[in-house]
Structure 1
Amino acid sequence: MRKMFGKLIFGLLWAISAAQSPCQTDASDGYKVRLSLQTALGSDAYDWTPNEVFLFRATLAFAMRNHLPDLEFRVDDVVVCEETPRVSFWFVVRRPDDPERLVGGAEVELAIRKSRKRINSAFLLTDRTLEFVGIAPTLLAPVAPATPPWLIAFGVVMGAVGAGFVVLVASSVIQKRRTKKENAANATEDDDGESGPSKRLENGGARRQSGSVANDGLANDGFSDDERVTQM
């Protein structure tokens, strides 16, 4: 009877404490955290101990102070619960000026985003291996290029136009050289053909023509009107 009564009292106290605890699964202003120590560190992975939990609470208190400098957050203001062996847990943040009230989830998210690198470095992890469920990984600020994009595009276009112009000029020069070589080769072939029989024929004709001219220039005494020849 006493054992049953003791179990009943223990159960009632546990239910009352659970009902009064601000940290529980799916808390409206709480967040779940998952850590992948083996994935991130491999053989150098450390054990998740109460000291690591204390470090997490201290780091979150720092992040809250950094985001809300008017409030002096302490380690006790970060409440951790629902821990699992695979290193996951829930946490909520209480207001230091009123411990009965919780800091809104939106403010906690902004504080985590502002100090995400400091939180990751404290545990030698990254956004992927230290996951705040419901808070997207921090995106790096875009790097502004030293040269404006429009100037890069303009340079590429002008380079392509210049290359095309050079190719066009080079092709036309090469074509002209080929044409000159072909014309010179044709002229050489024509000269070689004229130096053969045709030239000899022309030279012979010229000689015959010159002979006829010479013959035409000779006087025929038989048809001469010279009186010395006709007088008997």
Structure 2
Amino acid sequence: MFYSEVEMLGKIFFLVCVSSALVEPHCKPDASISNKVRLSIKTALGDQAYLWDDNEMFFFRASMAYAMRRQSLGQQFEVSHIHVCNRTDRVSFWFVVTDPSTGSLVSKAHVEQAVRKSRDRINSAFLLTDETLEFLDIPPILTPPDTPDTPPWLIVFGVVMGVVVAGIIFLIGSSMLEKKRKKKEKEADNEFNEESGVANEGVYNMSFSDNEQFTRI
């Protein structure tokens, strides 16, 4: 048990030493694998600007560890795997990332993918935007224009078809109502004519009466 713990500590120490040895020559300005970050906190927040200190730097490293975890599922990146160097008072610095399992440097392309995937979360964490929290070697991707789920031509076609269908229904309904109206008028005329015929048949013509009192002398 004792020897296994010593062996484990020895491996951890070895990895730390190897990691430091790998990081030192690469975490520097203009190195092919390092990334530069520049923040414009005062420009973005004005009087509400916060002071960039070691706590904020820790927060940035934690944010990058989160981004790397999100990009590399299964790999447990920690704050210790995000290495920062060449910090300036105007809030700019360089950083590199080491692999948790091997201690080797993570490729710049892989770090770029992680940053792009979690860019909004990182910006929100510091109340900044792509213009005020700049990854100088990782330009932001232009947001594509929003495309509606339904094409405009389909909307226009639907409106036109709706008007056409409504017009057809109106015409059919109008013609049916007109037929009913004419039918009722015809039935009313027939009833009137029948009643008039009955009334005419019941009139007594006095000129043909045989009664003498109605005969002119």
CA separation in 1, counterparts of 2:140 and 2:156?
A: 32
1:7 aligns with none
Kept in 1, the 8 Å contact 2:26–2:32? The answer is no
Query: Could you tell me the TM-score, scaled by structure 2's length?
Result: 0.59
Of the three residues 133, 136, 140, the one matched with 1:133 is 136
Query: Relative to 1, partners in 2 of residues 1:20 and 1:116: Cα closer, same or farther, differing over 3 Å?
Result: closer
Aligned partner letter, 1:121: S
Unaligned residue ranges in structure 2 (runs of 5+)? 1-20, 161-217
CA separation in 2, counterparts of 1:122 and 1:25?
A: 25
**If you compute each CA radius of gyration, which structure gives the higher value, 1 or 2?**
1
CA separation in 1, counterparts of 2:52 and 2:97?
A: 21
Query: Could you tell me the TM-score, scaled by structure 1's length?
Result: 0.55
Give the CA RMSD over aligned residues. Answer: 2.5
Kept in 2, the 8 Å contact 1:127–1:138? The answer is no
2:89 aligns with 85
User: Are positions 1:63 and 2:81 aligned together?
Assistant: no
Aligned partner letter, 2:35: Y
User: Are positions 1:112 and 2:115 aligned together?
Assistant: yes
CA separation in 1, counterparts of 2:157 and 2:89?
A: 58
Unaligned residue ranges in structure 1 (runs of 5+)? 1-16, 159-232
Q: Which has the higher contact order (CA 8 A, sep 6+)?
A: 2
CA separation in 1, counterparts of 2:24 and 2:89?
A: 25
| Distance apart, 1:22 and its partner CA | 3.3
| Distance apart, 1:29 and its partner CA | 1.4
CA separation in 2, counterparts of 1:98 and 1:69?
A: 16
- Residue aligned with 1:81, SS: strand
Aligned partner letter, 1:73: F
2:16 aligns with none
State the identity as a percent: 55
1:73 aligns with 77
Query: Relative to 1, partners in 2 of residues 1:95 and 1:146: Cα closer, same or farther, differing over 3 Å?
Result: closer
Query: Relative to 1, partners in 2 of residues 1:28 and 1:61: Cα closer, same or farther, differing over 3 Å?
Result: same
